[in-house]
Structure 1
């Protein structure tokens, strides 16, 4: 992972972030419009919004990975955790432990904020991602449900 830096997402990362986030949506077969990306970008640029973002920069300063995270209350524990909403690495840059670095950067932020856990979900068939996650975290027994509104 030589030469990779993890930094908070900033205005100068917009074009790379847009490319990466569109790639993330395509990976999960989610139809995502430029307007939807604009909404998320506006959240990331709003210091008061709960959703925050990091990017992984290569040696040339190009964003090659992203992570979006936010705090969440854990009433049963009487504390807070962090939710890793989105994690994506440019397919050409995979295998360099960039995802590891992004996850660890979110974990470091969580430690600073007193969070008890970083949690995320992934698709059952995301085998490559799950290989990374199995190495870095503990798979839980919880099953996720969605009720469309």
Structure 2
């Protein structure tokens, strides 16, 4: 982990972030349009949006992992963190990139005063779940998604 750094993206990171994001989408069998990619990227640079991005970088500055996260208000729990997406280039799995991303998310969460950081993953995402189990416990909640036609 010593040769990895984590921080926000710069405009110059777009192509590498895009490749990582497409890898993440492919894992979940989601086809991304150019519009969806451009819109998501723009959120990270828009101060009026809550979604942020962290990139794990190798010693030469190449992004090899991403985390998309945001602050979320919960009437029951207060303001907390929510991790929308986490992905590491398969060639860099086991490199400490996930550990570095979680360390930075913890630092940000503590700085923001979040009581928790929550996230979801697919039930059959066993490799990721084995890592997540080192950082958190499952909540027992199920996720539902209602289609709204948009």
TM norm structure 1: 0.95
For the residue of structure 2 that corresponds to 1:55, the secondary structure is: strand
Q: 1:48 deviation in Å?
A: 2.3
Alignment match, 1:65: 65
TM-fit CA distance, 1:2: 3.1
**RMSD across aligned C-alpha pairs, in angstroms?**
1.0
- The whole-number CA distance in structure 1 between the counterparts of 2:61 and 2:100 is 16
Measure the CA separation in 2 of the matches of 1:141 and 1:34. 35
CA positional deviation for 1:47: 2.2
Shift of 1:138: 1.0
Aligned to 2:51: 51
Q: What SS is found at the alignment partner of 2:44? A: helix
Compute the displacement of 1:20 (Å).
0.4
SS in 2 for 1:129: helix
Query: Once structures 1 and 2 are overlaid, which stretch shifts more, 85-94 or 97-106?
Result: 97-106
Alignment of 1:123-134 (within 5 A): 123-134=122-133
Residue pairs, 1:85-104, within 5 angstroms: 85-104=84-103
CA distance in 2, matches of 1:2, 1:105: 13
CA contact (8 A) 1:100 1:136 kept: no
Structure 1 unaligned spans of 5+: none
2:140 maps to which residue? Answer: 141
Q: Verify: 1:32 aligned to 2:4, yes or no.
A: no
Aligned residues: 148
What residue number does 1:6 align with?
6
> Within 2, Cα distance between the matches of 1:105 and 1:34?
29
> TM-score scaled to structure 2, two decimals?
0.95
In 2, Cα distance between equivalents of 1:133 and 1:20 = 19
